[in-house]
Structure 1
Amino acid sequence: MAVRPVTLGLDLGTTSVKAALLEAAPGHPSGFLVLASCARAARAEAQSVAAGSQGQEQDVSRIIQALNECLAALPQHQLQRVGAIGVSGQMHGVVFWKTGQGCEWIEGGPAPVFEPRAVSQLVTWQDGRCSSEFLASLPQPGSHLSVATGFGCATIFWLLKNRQHWNVFGLKNSPEFLKSYDVAGTIQDYVVTMLCGLPRPVMSDQNAASWGYFNTQSQSWNLEVLRASGFPLHLLPDIAEPGSTAGSTSHMWFEIPKGTQVGVAMGDLQASVYSCMGQKTDAVLNISTSVQLAASMPSGFQPAQTPDPTAPVAYFPYFENTYLGVAASLNGGNVLATFVHMLVQWMADLGLEVEESSVYSRMIQAAAQQRDTCLTITPTVLGERHLPDQLASVTRISSSDLSLGHVTRALCRGIVQNLHSMLPFQQLKEWGVKRVLGSGSALSRNEVLKQEVQRAFSLPVSFGQDVDAAVGAALVVLRRNLNQKES
C-alpha cells in the first residue's frame, strides 16, 4: 500500500487524550510538520468497588468519547489523507474485553465511530490495591524489571486471589470466572484492536515490560513462572515491534479511509521521549501528572537480569533494541494538585469558596516572589514504586517560613530534589548526557518549578521543545514507513 503523506498520532493519557496530524517535510529541520493537533480531557475517573479507596480505575467509554471528540475537532479534509496511524498511551494499566465484542461500530451518525461494549473498567498505573505484602507473595519474575502495584500482571494476580471481587468485572466466582472477558491489554492496545478488528491484541515490548513478567532480551513472557502460579496465560497478548503494522482499519473512521495502516501501540513514555529527543546526548525531563527523567543508553547496553525492587532507576525498552534509563517518580504535578485541593478544602471549611485555578495561580505568584526558603518538603504523598510505603514529610519548619510563598517554593523544590534522590544528576554526565530538555504540562505552567529545575541541574536545560506522545507516536510510524519506502 502506498504511503500517504499524512500520519495520525494518538495518545491515550492518564488525564487527557491527544491527536496530531503529521506530514513528512524533508526540507524542514525536524523532517516533519505538525498540520493540526487536539487534546481533550478524559474525565474518566471511576469508582473501584473491588479495591475501594486503594483502587484507581477509569471508564473506558469516557476515554473513547474524548478520543472521538479529538478526531471530530481535526480538519476532516486532512483526515481523508491519513495513510497510517500511530498509537501510544498510559503504560502498566490493564483492561479486559470479550473477543469480537469489545465495541460496536456506529455508522449512522455524523461520522463512523466505535463505542465500547463488553469491556471492563481500566485499572490504571496509579492503582494501589497491591500492597507490599501482596507483591512479596508473588513469584519472582524472570526479568530485569520488578513488579509493582498498578502493573497489569500484578493486577490480574490480585483479581485471581480476590475472586469475590471478579463480579465487578462481570467475572463470576466459578471455574468459568473468565467467561465474560477472554483477552486483556493496555488501553492503547484495546484501541488498536478495535480499529483493526483483530481477534487478539498485539502488544509491543514497551507495554509488555510495563506489565511485569516479561523478559526484554528473549522478547517473551515468563510463561513457566506464570503457569506454575495459576496465571491465566490466555490473557497475555502476542508481542510485536512497537510501531510495526498491527493491522488496518476495518471500518471508515471519521474521514479516515477503511484499510488504513495501524501501528502496534507503544508506551507514552517512549513516544514522549521520541517526540523531542533530537540527539542521543539529550536527556528528557517530563513533569506532568507524574515525573520522568529519561536518557538513552548506549547501543548494546543490556540491563542485569535480576530485578531489584528497591532500585529507583529502571531500564525500559525503547526503539531498535535500545533502552531508556528512567527515573519515574509517582509524585509530580499531582502533588501540586493535591496541595491546591487541600487549600481549597480548608477554605471551604472556613466558609470561603474559591476556584482551584485561582488558588494555583496565586500560590505560584507568591512563590515567585519568594526566591529561597529553608523549609524542606519531601513530597512523596503517593510513595514511590521502589519505596511504596514512603510518606511525605515537612522539616526545618520555622515561624518565618510558613507563608504561602515559602511552602510553595519548598514544594516545587521538593519535587525536583526527590527526583535527584532517585537519579543523581551527576549520573547523567557519566551516561554522556550534555543537555536536559524540560517539558510537561506541570513544568510549562509553573515558572517556580522551572527555576528549581535550573537550580538543580549542572547541565544546560532547555524548555523550548515540549514532549508530545501523540506527535511521537505518529513520528515513529512516519519514519518507519519512509525508511521502508526508501529501502
Structure 2
Amino acid sequence: MKGGQNRKHGVILGIDLGTTTVKVSVIDAVTKRVATNQSYSQKTFADVPNLPPGFSEQYVEKIWTALNILLAEIGPHTLSNVIAVGICGQQHGVMLWKRKAAWSNVTLTKFTALSDICEFSNLITWQDQRCTKDFLETLPKPQPDQVLATGYGSCSLFWLQKNDPAVLEYYSEAGTIMDFIACLLTNSKSAVISPHNAESWGFFDRHSRSWNTKILTENQFPVGLLPLVCNTTILGVLRPGSSFHGMNRDRQTIPVSVAMGDLQTSFIATVAKDTDAVLNFSTSSQISFIRSRADLVIPSACDVRSYFSSTSGKPSHSGRELVVAPSLNGGNVLTFFVKTLLDWIGQFDLDFSEDVIWSKIISAANSEDWTTSDDPTIRPTIYAERFDSNLRASVEGLSLENVKLGFVTRGFLKGVIENLAVMLPPQILLQSSIDRIVLTGSLFKKFPQLCRYVTKVFGLPVVVQEEEGRDAAFGAALAVSLSL
C-alpha cells in the first residue's frame, strides 16, 4: 500500500456472480476471516422474459447493476482498504461482446453504463435447454473424459453457428459473465478464462489445459471467439486511474483474479480437510469431494473437474481434481413448486405473495415428523439431468393421509438428496476415505431436519457450515489472498 505499508494489512474483496443473486464478501487479508459485520447479496432479476420454450438468458446490464448496488452499499470507507479482488460465478454459460473505442480509456465508476463502452449479447445460462439431445448428437465427439450438455458454452456457440451465425460474426469475444467482468475491471487485451470455466464449456482438455482446437476447427466452430486460458490465479490489476467505488483511489496496484468457478470457490471456502465432501443445496445441488485415488471408477452421472493444486500456500489452476455430482435440480425445484402453487391460487382469484407461500411451506414441512415413512416419494428431476436429458419428475405413494403441504414439501426436499445419491452412490465416498459431509446452502437452515436425512441416505456424519459468509464469494477472496 502507499507509503511502504505492508500490502497484506488490508482486505480482499470477493465477488460471486450467481444465477439469481450477486454476492460480495470482504475478508481480512491476514486472518482470512470475514471483515464486515454483515453479508452482502443482491437479487439480479436478470432473467429475460418471453423466450422460446427451453431458452434461458439473462440481461448482463442487470447483473452489472446488482454488483454496483452491492459495492455502493459496502461503501468507499471499507473498499478503500481493498488490496486485491477475487471473482467467481455461475459456470457453463456464455455471452458475447465487442469493444467500443471507449473501452480502453474509460474510468470505471458506479455510473458506468456498459452500453457506452461495448456491445454485448444476453448471457445464455447453464439452465438453457435449446441444445436438444438430437442436436447434441450432431456435434463432434469430445475426448473420452470430457462431457457435453445443453447449457455448456461450446454447445451454445455450436447452436448459434448453425441457427444464427450472423451473431457470431458480429461479436469479437466470448466468455462467461464473470470473465467479462474480470476483463472489464482489468482492461485485459482479450477475453481470458480460467481452466475451471473453460472445462465447464466442453471441448477443453484439463490435462494439457488447452482447447480441442483441431476437433473444433474441423467442425466449423468459431475458434476465434474462444478466450485465452490463464493458468495463474491473478489476471491483472484494477484499471489504473479508476477509483471504482473507492478502490484504487490512492493509485495503488490492486491485483484482480482470473474469474473462477463457483463450484471450486465454494469448495475451498467450506472444506477443513481433504476427507470432507461438500453437499451444496442452492439453486441447483451438488455433492463433491477431492479425488484421492487415480483408480477410482467415476459414475457416469458425475464429472471430474480441475481444482486448486493447494488450499494452503499459493494455489494454481492445475493439480488436484474434484469429483462432482452436478444435479440441475435443487432449490429451483422448490421455487417451481411455489410458483405452481401461486398459479393455482391465482386461478381461484385469490391473491398471495410468493413470500407468504414460502413461509407456509417452510412451516408446514418443519411441523411434521421427518422420521415417518409416510411421505410421498418424489423424483424431483423437473429440469432433467445432463447425463439424461429425457429424465422427468414423478410422484409415487400418494395416500389419503400424505396429500398435505408439509408431506409434499418434504417429498421434494428428500427427493433432491436421494437424486444426488443416485448420481454419486454412497459407496464411492467410502472408497475415497471421505469421513464427513459439510452441508452448505440456506435450505439446510430453513429445513434443519433435512440434515439428518442426508446422514440417513449417505451413511456419513454431517456438519452444517455455520460460519456466516463462507460462500463462493468468500472462497474467491480466499483463493486470491493465498496468492498474494
TM-score (norm 2): 0.89
Which residue of 312, 320, 328 maps to 2:301?
A: 312
Asked if 1:192 corresponds to 2:208, the answer is: no
Asked if 1:329 corresponds to 2:333, the answer is: no
Shift of 1:104: 8.8
Would the aligned equivalents of 1:103 and 1:118 in 2 still touch at CA under 8 Å? no
Opposite residue 192 of structure 1, the aligned amino acid is A
Which residue of 237, 243, 246 maps to 2:233?
A: 243
- Identity, in percent, stands at 36
Give me the whole-angstrom Cα distance separating, in 2, the residues matched to 1:440 and 1:426.
Answer: 24
The DSSP-based 3-state class of the residue aligned with 1:381 is coil
The aligned runs of 1:255-294 (5 Å cut-off) are: 255-257=246-248, 259-294=253-288
Give me the whole-angstrom Cα distance separating, in 2, the residues matched to 1:361 and 1:469.
Answer: 26
Opposite residue 194 of structure 2, the aligned amino acid is S
Opposite residue 333 of structure 1, the aligned amino acid is G
Structure 1 residues 242 and 460, CA, compared in 2 at 3 Å: closer, same or farther?
farther
The equivalent of 2:367 in structure 1 is 369
The equivalent of 2:473 in structure 1 is 470
After superposition, the C-alpha distances for 1:64-111 in whole angstroms (9 at most, x for unaligned) are: 0000011101142221121111100100000100145696987697x5
The equivalent of 1:74 in structure 2 is 74
Give me the whole-angstrom Cα distance separating, in 1, the residues matched to 2:389 and 2:142.
Answer: 18
Give me the whole-angstrom Cα distance separating, in 1, the residues matched to 2:473 and 2:410.
Answer: 32
Opposite residue 227 of structure 1, the aligned amino acid is T
The DSSP-based 3-state class of the residue aligned with 2:382 is coil
Stretch deviating more after TM superposition (55-64 or 32-41): 32-41
The equivalent of 1:3 in structure 2 is 7
Structure 1 residues 292 and 437, CA, compared in 2 at 3 Å: closer, same or farther?
same
Give me the whole-angstrom Cα distance separating, in 2, the residues matched to 1:462 and 1:76.
Answer: 36
Give me the whole-angstrom Cα distance separating, in 1, the residues matched to 2:101 and 2:144.
Answer: 33
Which stretches in structure 2 are left out of the alignment for 5+ residues?
310-318
The aligned runs of 1:388-427 (5 Å cut-off) are: 388-427=389-428
Structure 1 residues 355 and 249, CA, compared in 2 at 3 Å: closer, same or farther?
same
The DSSP-based 3-state class of the residue aligned with 2:416 is helix
The equivalent of 1:252 in structure 2 is 243
The equivalent of 1:383 in structure 2 is 384
The equivalent of 1:12 in structure 2 is 17
Would the aligned equivalents of 1:105 and 1:113 in 2 still touch at CA under 8 Å? no
Structure 1 residues 32 and 279, CA, compared in 2 at 3 Å: closer, same or farther?
same
Would the aligned equivalents of 2:108 and 2:243 in 1 still touch at CA under 8 Å? no
Give me the whole-angstrom Cα distance separating, in 2, the residues matched to 1:400 and 1:279.
Answer: 44
The equivalent of 1:485 in structure 2 is none
Would the aligned equivalents of 1:244 and 1:263 in 2 still touch at CA under 8 Å? yes
Would the aligned equivalents of 2:108 and 2:244 in 1 still touch at CA under 8 Å? no
Would the aligned equivalents of 2:304 and 2:324 in 1 still touch at CA under 8 Å? yes
Give me the whole-angstrom Cα distance separating, in 2, the residues matched to 1:152 and 1:221.
Answer: 13
Structure 1 residues 437 and 192, CA, compared in 2 at 3 Å: closer, same or farther?
same
The equivalent of 1:43 in structure 2 is 45
The equivalent of 1:155 in structure 2 is 156
The equivalent of 1:348 in structure 2 is 346
The equivalent of 2:315 in structure 1 is none
- Cα RMSD (Å): 2.3
Structure 1 residues 218 and 87, CA, compared in 2 at 3 Å: closer, same or farther?
same
Stretch deviating more after TM superposition (2-11 or 340-349): 2-11
Would the aligned equivalents of 2:17 and 2:88 in 1 still touch at CA under 8 Å? yes
Give me the whole-angstrom Cα distance separating, in 2, the residues matched to 1:119 and 1:346.
Answer: 38
Give me the whole-angstrom Cα distance separating, in 2, the residues matched to 1:101 and 1:148.
Answer: 36
Would the aligned equivalents of 2:100 and 2:119 in 1 still touch at CA under 8 Å? no
The DSSP-based 3-state class of the residue aligned with 1:414 is helix
Opposite residue 198 of structure 1, the aligned amino acid is S
Shift of 1:311: 1.4
Shift of 1:418: 0.8
The DSSP-based 3-state class of the residue aligned with 1:45 is coil
The aligned runs of 1:143-182 (5 Å cut-off) are: 144-163=145-164, 171=167, 178=169, 180-182=170-172
The equivalent of 1:58 in structure 2 is 58
Structure 1 residues 221 and 106, CA, compared in 2 at 3 Å: closer, same or farther?
closer
Would the aligned equivalents of 1:290 and 1:331 in 2 still touch at CA under 8 Å? yes
Would the aligned equivalents of 2:375 and 2:408 in 1 still touch at CA under 8 Å? no
Would the aligned equivalents of 2:104 and 2:187 in 1 still touch at CA under 8 Å? no
TM-score (norm 1): 0.89
Opposite residue 483 of structure 2, the aligned amino acid is R
The DSSP-based 3-state class of the residue aligned with 2:389 is coil
The DSSP-based 3-state class of the residue aligned with 1:380 is coil
Would the aligned equivalents of 1:100 and 1:197 in 2 still touch at CA under 8 Å? no
The equivalent of 1:115 in structure 2 is 114
Give me the whole-angstrom Cα distance separating, in 2, the residues matched to 1:103 and 1:393.
Answer: 50
Stretch deviating more after TM superposition (100-109 or 67-76): 100-109
Opposite residue 20 of structure 1, the aligned amino acid is S
Give me the whole-angstrom Cα distance separating, in 1, the residues matched to 2:449 and 2:332.
Answer: 16
Stretch deviating more after TM superposition (363-372 or 315-324): 363-372
Give me the whole-angstrom Cα distance separating, in 2, the residues matched to 1:161 and 1:275.
Answer: 40
Would the aligned equivalents of 1:102 and 1:119 in 2 still touch at CA under 8 Å? no
The DSSP-based 3-state class of the residue aligned with 1:46 is coil
Shift of 1:148: 0.3
The equivalent of 1:484 in structure 2 is none
After superposition, the C-alpha distances for 1:379-434 in whole angstroms (9 at most, x for unaligned) are: 10000001111000011222222122221121111111111111112321211111
Give me the whole-angstrom Cα distance separating, in 2, the residues matched to 1:426 and 1:56.
Answer: 35
Give me the whole-angstrom Cα distance separating, in 1, the residues matched to 2:229 and 2:359.
Answer: 45
Opposite residue 54 of structure 2, the aligned amino acid is Q
The equivalent of 2:134 in structure 1 is 133
Shift of 1:375: 1.5
